[in-house]
Amino acid sequence: PVHVSSFFASMLETMRTVAQKKRITLHGDIPDELFLEADEDKLRQICINLLSNAVSYTQDGGRVEFIVRDKLDEEGNEKVTITVSDTGIGIPRKDLPRIFERFYRVDKARSRGSGGTGLGLSIVKHLVELHHGTISVESELSIGTSFTVELPLMQESEM
Ligand code: ATP
Ligand code: MG
């Protein structure tokens, strides 16, 4: 199992360097003694993709938050939620249903120069589903975006 606090703390340090280049504040809120059964490389890829997007699609001087919580769902199963939210450009309502599709980018003008391929979120969704988790998004244009990944604390079978 992954020790959530040390794992995410070192990952956030890496991302802080990237965020600092745009003077973006990166705020983390992570529980101390929590262990999550997950594949470390895949978990890292999920979080780095979401954090990279948050930094890419947020103006200089903005803010990105990375919040981890554990909870019980309605059936009493232990879950971990990871929320990555930003004060960035937001995603138009009409595009929200499509952003997890391969190669989908909201529009060429806004993402030109960021050099992406439009694969990041499709990979994130695939990796989340490998862990039997879910991902959801809320966004408001010019206000910001928030992605929430919900993963079972324990996996029922090998990944
Ligand atoms: P890649 O991740 O492959 O380098 P990408 O970032 O364009 O390229 P995705 O990560 O799949 O691709 O994201 C798809 C699109 O969703 C982006 O092009 C962008 O328009 C939009 N998007 C993703 N995250 C955010 C965000 N935090 N704020 C605003 N728009 C976003
Ligand atoms: Mg991306």
pLDDT given for residue 116 in this prediction: 82
- Would the ipTM clear 0.90, i.e. be above it? yes
Give the rounded percent of residues in the chain with a pLDDT score beyond 90: 91
pLDDT given for residue 156 in this prediction: 82
Confidence at 14, pLDDT banded by 50, 70, 90 = very high
Query: What is the rounded CA–CA span in Å between residue 34 and residue 46?
Result: 18
Whether residue 23 has pLDDT greater than 70: yes
Task: Average the pLDDT over 97-119 and give the result.
Answer: 82
CB 65 within 8 A of CB 139: no
CB 86 within 8 A of CB 60: no
Residues 6+ apart with CB under 8 A from 116: 56, 105
Whether residue 110 has pLDDT greater than 90: no
Task: Average the pLDDT over 86-91 and give the result.
Answer: 97
Query: What is the rounded CA–CA span in Å between residue 104 and residue 120?
Result: 10
Residue whose Cα lies nearest atom 18 of ligand 1: it is 105
116-134, pLDDT tens digit by residue? 889 999 999 999 999 999 9
How high does pLDDT run on average in the chain? 94
Residue whose Cα lies nearest atom 24 of ligand 1: it is 53
What residues flank ligand 1, with Cβ below 6 Å? 53-54, 57, 86, 88-91, 99, 104-106, 111, 116-122, 145
Residue whose Cα lies nearest atom 5 of ligand 1: it is 118
pLDDT given for residue 159 in this prediction: 62
Confidence at 50, pLDDT banded by 50, 70, 90 = very high
Q: How far is CA 111 from CA 36, 73, 151, in A?
A: 34, 37, 29
Give residue 120 CA to ligand 2 midpoint distance, Å.
4
